[in-house]
Every structure is written in C-alpha cells, then in structure tokens.
Amino acid sequence: MSKLRGLQSIEFTKCPAIIGHEAVVGKKEGEGPLKAYFDHVVQDELFGEKSFEYAERKFYKTAVELACKNAGLHTADIRYLLGGDLLNQIISAGYAARDLQIPFLGLYGACSTMAQSLLLGSVLIDGGYADTAACAVSSHFASAERQYRFPLELGNQRTPTAQWTITGAGCTILSDEKEANLCITGATVGRVTDYGITDANNMGAAMAPAAANTILCHLQDFGRTVQDYDLIVTGDLGSVGLQLLKEILTQAGINTDSRFQDCGCMIFDPETQDVHAGGSGCGCSAVVLNGYLLKKLKEGAYKRILFCATGAKLSTTSSQQGESIPGIAHAVVIERVK
C-alpha cells in the first residue's frame, strides 16, 4: 500500500506509538491557563546556570531525560534524537545531544520544529529504521529576545502584535511498540510561504499563510474535512495570526469553528499575563503538545487531532538586507487508538 498521500503528505501504516512525553516550562508558563497540566515548572529563569543559553540547553536535556523516564526507558535506550531550537546553529539541541550521547539528527524549522521532528521520527519508526526516537525542541524567552530583537536590558516597548517566546522544552518518545494508546498516523510536509511580512514583531502574520497552505494541502491529500478532526491546533500563531489563518481558510471555503485553536493562544492568559498577541517560540507548541494536548488525548477529550506547528524563518541577517520573513508549517495527525 502506498504511503504517499496527494502532493505533500505521508500515511503511516504501522502507526508509530507515543510511549512517553514530557514538558518542562518556566515560571511564567507555569502560571498560565495550563498550569494544572505542567508537572515540571522551573522557577529560576537561569535554571541554576550562568547564562540564558546554558539554561535553555538544560531545559532541553531535562525534557529528554524526563520523557525517557516517563516512557520507562533510559536515554541510552533511545536510538536517535531529532530536534532543534531557535538559537543560531541550534546550540541548545546540539550541546544537549553532546551531553546525552544519543545519535543526533539536527533540524531547523524555526517554530515548526516540533512537528518536523515528529514527522521525521515517525518516518524512521514506521519504516523500521529505528525502534525508538526522541523528538525534542526548546526555546527561551531571554535567549531568543537578545538574539532576534533587543537586549532585555534596553527595556524596549513591545508592539501589540508581538508575541512572547516560551521558556521551556518538550520531548516526545516514539516507538515501534504495538500496545500504546496514542500514535501518529499521518503527516504533511510544508512549503516555505511568503506574504512579504517584514516586521519581526508580527510573527503571527508571517506564519499564518504557511499554516493555511499546509492545512488545506493536508485535507486535500487525505480527502478529509475539518470535521474529521476534533482539534486542528497551530503552533504559535498567537491571536493575530490565528485570526488571519481563519480569514484565509474562510476564503478557501473552510468552516473555521472552535476546533481551530493555537498553542500561542492557549499557554498565556491575555488578561493577566501581558503577553500581547500570545506565546511563540518553538518551545511553545512543544510544551503545549507534550504537557497538555497528549494528556487530553489520553483522557479521551479528543480522538484525532492535527498538530500543525508553524515557523517564521526570521533571520537578523536577512532582515537587515531588506528581506521579508517567510513562514513554514508542518503537520502531524495524532490519534488515540484505544
């Protein structure tokens, strides 16, 4: 049976199993609407380290270790680690991979990396190229702000469309085990999409067209409608991007009802947490998925969800040269099978 679906999608016939998952979040994330679901909240933004970058890699490493433990495995049992982060040269993932000593496949999909790692991890498991794979992603508010925007010490005002980069990391353990109750059944690889956004404080608008493109392509490739999903959740569009996504999809004839949600809108309370348009960063979809959504799937709140993480390919170098910020979105289908 062909595993190719339509133009950009894959069907996993052996259903790679999710056997463990964990999220580690910062203090602010642990005070938001999902606080009851986050078991590991780190109060110190430096996580006991000497810099935000060292802290971020500790979030990454800790998430992998805890997810392995959650799966009843040691890190040495994991065949391959797939993932990345937002820092130049994906140093959080790279140094964590050095410390963990798991064979490492580094990915860069900006904030779409959680979905990209699940997609490629599922290919490895489904095809019989790995028996276990850890898919992990991190971000840190302070390391991201100083790399992409301004030093925090400058105290710059944030614009209304700005999003707040999540401090945290999430890890999913995939396996060829047959007895798990959650598995990944399909995926869609995204195209780089560019509507000409140049504002580094409006990532939602940069990513929304990519999310729309991937969701529409996914539905077409699988011959499904939005009613086939209990939840279609985007990575970190935030309130501005989610609104734009709904507008684009409505124009395409899609009924954008309450099943369309966004990790960036779920993680913070807009009334009390002063995050403007919501959460962002590749840790955002990673911690919402691994800390909250997978638990809701297990509890029976959802049967099948489309997890569509969205990335803005923001680069200070290309922004300084006048380029726009293209977006990309990858999607995976996660189902409760028993």
Q: Which residues contact its own copies (rule: CB under 8 A)?
A: 2-4, 7-8, 10, 50-51, 53-54, 79-80, 84, 87-91, 94-95, 97-98, 101-110, 116, 119-120, 123-124, 126-131, 147, 189-194, 313-318, 321, 323, 326, 328
Q: Which is nearer to its own copies, 83 or 291 (CB)?
A: 83
Cβ 319 to its own copies, closest distance in Å?
10
335: helix, coil or strand?
strand
Q: How far is the CB of 300 from its own copies (least distance, A)?
A: 31
Q: CA-to-CA distance for 15 and 65, rounded, in angstroms?
A: 24
Closest separation in Å from C-beta 12 to its own copies: 9
Nearer to its own copies, 27 or 98 (CB): 98
Report the distance separating Cα 96 and Cα 86, nearest Å. Answer: 14
Residue 266 CB, shortest distance to its own copies, in Å, is: 26
Min dist CB 99 to its own copies, Å, is: 8
User: Chain-centre distance of CA 45, in angstroms?
Assistant: 21
Instruction: Report how far apart, in Å, the C-alpha atoms of 167 and of each of 24, 144, 145, 227, 279 are.
Output: 9, 9, 11, 33, 10
DSSP result, 208-231: HHHHHHHHHHHHHHHT--GGG-SE
3-class SS string, 164-203: EECCEEEEEEEECCCCCCEEEEEEECCCCECCCCCCCCCH
SS3 282: helix
Nearer to its own copies, 117 or 290 (CB): 117
Q: Which two tokens stand for residue 176?
A: 């060829």
Q: Which is nearer to its own copies, 31 or 99 (CB)?
A: 99
Closest to its own copies by CB, 55 or 244: 55
Terminal alpha carbon distance of the chain? 24
Q: Residue 202 or 213: which CB sits closer to its own copies?
A: 213
Contact 53, 91 (CB under 8 A): yes
Q: Which is nearer to its own copies, 90 or 233 (CB)?
A: 90
Q: At what angle do helices 52-70 and 141-148 cross, to 10 degrees?
A: 140
Tell me the closest approach of the beta carbon of residue 20 to its own copies, in angstroms.
Answer: 20
Compute the least distance from the CB of residue 116 to its own copies, in Å. Answer: 6
Bridge-partner residues for 261, per DSSP? 233
Which single residue is written with the structure tokens 């939602």?
204
Query: Which CB sits closer to its own copies, 128 or 223?
Result: 128
Task: Closer to its own copies by CB, 314 or 333: give it.
Answer: 314
Which amino acid is residue 313, in one-letter code?
A: K
Q: How many other C-beta atoms can be found within 10 angstroms of the C-beta atom of residue 255?
A: 12
Residues recorded for the chain:
338
Give the shortest CB-313-to-its own copies separation in angstroms: 5
The token pair at 64 is: 């992998």
Minimum CB distance to its own copies, residue 316 (Å): 7
